[in-house]
Structure 1
Amino acid sequence: MGMKSKVVLGAVAGIAVIAAVSANSGDAEGGSTGKGSSASAQQQAGGSKADGTSDTKSEDKDVEKASQAEQFKAFVQKNGTAKEKEAVSHVTKVQGADEQNNILDAADVYTDFTGGILGEGTGPAKLIASAFADWKQSDNGLVTVYDADGELLGNGKF
């Protein structure tokens, strides 16, 4: 393994440790005021027709059969901004989004960007990580975005 790879892996491990420590030193009152609470309220409120019946059951069955990447893209197409939609259109694969235990959740998002951390995908990677945090919530989650060659583009908490 090259020296650059070792440095990047060390940085990712350090960020994961910092994220774990900071997540456990949060709100002692138990109140929820973060982005996750507003996203949860939005998810619970949607999906009703004019006659009061819900049409999300058939949509949920179709979404559950889709891959994690397709589920993520569908969520962003429905709820994301124009820039998030553009960034997420480059997503090719999502791993680890369905396995959450709220202790140390980690998800990987792979894209078709090239050039690693110095390439054109660094900015969109932050948008992808932000959109992922809107899609999935965890007490202590870390999403990592990679380019087409498997090089790190960015990461974020979810």
Structure 2
Amino acid sequence: MPTAAAVRITAVLALGAVIAAGTAACSTEKTAEPDAIGVVEKLPDDTDKAQSKKNAQEFRSWVEEHGTAQQKSAAGRVDRILGEWNDKTGNAYIATDINGGKKPAADPQGAATAIAKAFASWKDSDQGYASVYDVYGNAMLTNYKF
């Protein structure tokens, strides 16, 4: 018959194994994963900040020349554009300062929609989708077809 101390040690070791197994299944990696219907609720990690800033600058320049007044106002809130897209397909994740920044947006959802519509005009594609994220990285508008 095992002693009381041996039973306690066995219980502690078993509990430690359960905790270790539980934490091993958790991941600290922040990779954007779509939910069951393909929506990415949080802005993906920016693996190439220089390129995403360049994408945003090119977008803002295009909107300044071709966009509506509402699109021009909203495009100024675009900080970075992540993702990969080409002439046929792709996904764009648009980081903005909506709900933050120096001047709060009077109509945050309207600004997000204007940005998505401007992006759709800028990058005409057969199967592309743009998602707009607020300053905290939360989705405001997802899977807008462009």
Q: State the TM-score bracket (shorter-chain normalisation).
A: 0.5 to 0.7
Structure 1 residue runs of 4 or more that deviate by more than 6 Å after TM superposition: none
What is the rounded CA distance, in whole Å, between the counterparts of 1:14 and 1:73 in structure 2? 25
User: Is the partner of 1:92 in helix, strand or coil?
Assistant: strand
Q: Could you state the TM-score of these two structures normalised by the residue count of structure 1?
A: 0.54
Q: Which residue number corresponds to residue 110 of structure 1?
A: 95
RMSD: 2.8
Unaligned runs of 5+ in 2: 1-33, 41-52, 101-105
The structural deviation recorded for 1:100 is 2.0
- The letter of the residue matching 1:94 is I
The structural deviation recorded for 1:128 is 0.4
The structure with the largest alpha-carbon Rg is 2
Could you tell me whether the CA contact under 8 Å between 1:113 and 1:120 is conserved in 2? no
From the superposition, tell whether residues 11 and 91 of structure 1 become closer, same or farther in structure 2 (CA, over 3 Å). Answer: farther
Residues 87-146 of structure 1, C-alpha deviations (whole Å, 9 max, x = no match): 11111101125x42624x10011000128xxx9421111110000000001110000000
Q: Which residue number corresponds to residue 56 of structure 2?
A: 69
Q: Which residue number corresponds to residue 146 of structure 1?
A: 133
Residues matched between the structures, number: 96
Unaligned runs of 5+ in 1: 1-8, 16-65
The structural deviation recorded for 1:12 is 5.5
Q: Report matched runs for 1:26-41 at 5 Å.
A: none
* 1:132 is the counterpart of 2:129: no
Could you tell me whether the CA contact under 8 Å between 2:63 and 2:75 is conserved in 1? yes
What is the rounded CA distance, in whole Å, between the counterparts of 1:122 and 1:11 in structure 2? 24
From the superposition, tell whether residues 137 and 10 of structure 1 become closer, same or farther in structure 2 (CA, over 3 Å). Answer: same
What is the rounded CA distance, in whole Å, between the counterparts of 1:12 and 1:112 in structure 2? 26
User: Is the partner of 1:114 in helix, strand or coil?
Assistant: coil
